[in-house]
Amino acid sequence: MGMARESFGTGGGGLALAPPPGLGPVPDQTGDGSGRAADAFADESAEVVNHVQALAEHDAAAQNDLSAAVASAGAARGRMDAVIAAAVADVQSKGLAVNTPAGQQALVVAIKHHLEDTKSTLDQGSGDASTHAAAAETTAAGYQSIGQPPGASAPMMPMGGMPMGGGMPMGGMPMGGGGGFPGASMLAPLGGLTNLLGKGGSAGGGLPGVGGELGNAIGAVGTSSGGPHGDRIVKAALTQLGVPYVWGGTTPGKGLDCSGLVQYAYRQAGIDIPRTTYDMTNWGVRVRPEDARPGDILLCNRQDGRWEHVQLVMNDRQTIEAPSRGQDVKISNWPSGQFEIRRAA
């Protein structure tokens, strides 16, 4: 339980995040004179202003991403503190009864219950970490698009190159803030339970493993970016991770089918897109897979001459999709078979 708690970072007193640094004054766009040189100066100045504004927007998005990740880790630490405190209380309440077979069996049952709570917290934390990692990737890809000419590919930025410590597992995030890890002393009364838990077979069967890495890698940032619209599309889709697939579903947070997810994400970016996969086949313009950007649509599962499924491009190897009945919205790898990429015209 202590290791599970530590996987969410060691911050106990909260982390005050400094606001992003200012970008300085906006360049003077006026200039003097007239003619081609003056016009060119005005055009270049306007472009610089647009880039400065785009940088400010991405700074704010990155700040929000980090704040959300820190808050999520803090909430998970709080849940684990409660689990640990309850386990310690159970051990202490048994007293000398743990020296009897009945007392030992009761304690095993109680501790297994707390381990189940631990696993549930880790599972939730893993999902949250994946979501925050994907959001950070999208923001990073947006930075790369600033200043790129239309249609140009931005350089690849591996996730390991981002200022996040050891990848995305919560233990590598800057969670400091004093207080240390209080769980170590709290767990002292549990130190003698190793052999006792080995007897758990008589108390109701085994418990699935609680180990595992928190926040498995989402992967490298895509080789190109859809810009601010692509950012908003992907981030909107990421908010629906875990929502169940419902055929014909268009209700975010409750049930979505594949095209319903895509339509919802595009609407959050202010873009109208057809409702069904079949209609999306002729929407926008077709682009080569190597030119795909975050937020593009990926049509696949071709049957009887038409595409039967649609996904959203997240980066150069992953998509976001509402797969099929019995599954939830999730992050997937690009399909291995035939597919087509389309983009808003």
pLDDT attached to residue 26: 55
The residue with greater pLDDT, 107 or 215, is 107
13-27, 93-107, 195-209, 308-322: least confident range: 195-209
pTM above 0.85, yes or no: no
For helices 36-94 and 101-145, what crossing angle results, to 10°?
A: 180
Task: Quickly state the pLDDT bin for 4 (edges 50, 70, 90).
Answer: low
pLDDT attached to residue 170: 37
Task: Quickly state the pLDDT bin for 120 (edges 50, 70, 90).
Answer: confident
Percent of the chain past pLDDT 70, that is, above it, reads 63
pLDDT attached to residue 5: 60
Q: Is the pLDDT of residue 308 over 80?
A: yes
The residue with greater pLDDT, 226 or 223, is 226
CB atoms within 10 A of CB 234: 31
Backbone phi and psi for residue 312, each to the nearest 5 degrees, phi listed first: -110, 130
Q: Is the pLDDT of residue 319 over 80?
A: yes
For 182-215, the pLDDT digits (tens) are 444 444 444 444 444 444 433 333 333 333 322 3
pLDDT attached to residue 147: 62
pLDDT attached to residue 300: 96
pLDDT attached to residue 251: 96
Task: Quickly state the pLDDT bin for 138 (edges 50, 70, 90).
Answer: confident
Task: Quickly state the pLDDT bin for 36 (edges 50, 70, 90).
Answer: confident
56-70, 178-192, 218-232, 267-281: least confident range: 178-192
- 297-303 and 339-343 strand pairing: antiparallel
CB 87 within 8 A of CB 111: yes
For 127-136, the pLDDT digits (tens) are 777 777 777 7
pLDDT attached to residue 258: 97
pLDDT attached to residue 140: 72
CB 228 within 8 A of CB 293: no
CB 329 within 8 A of CB 243: yes
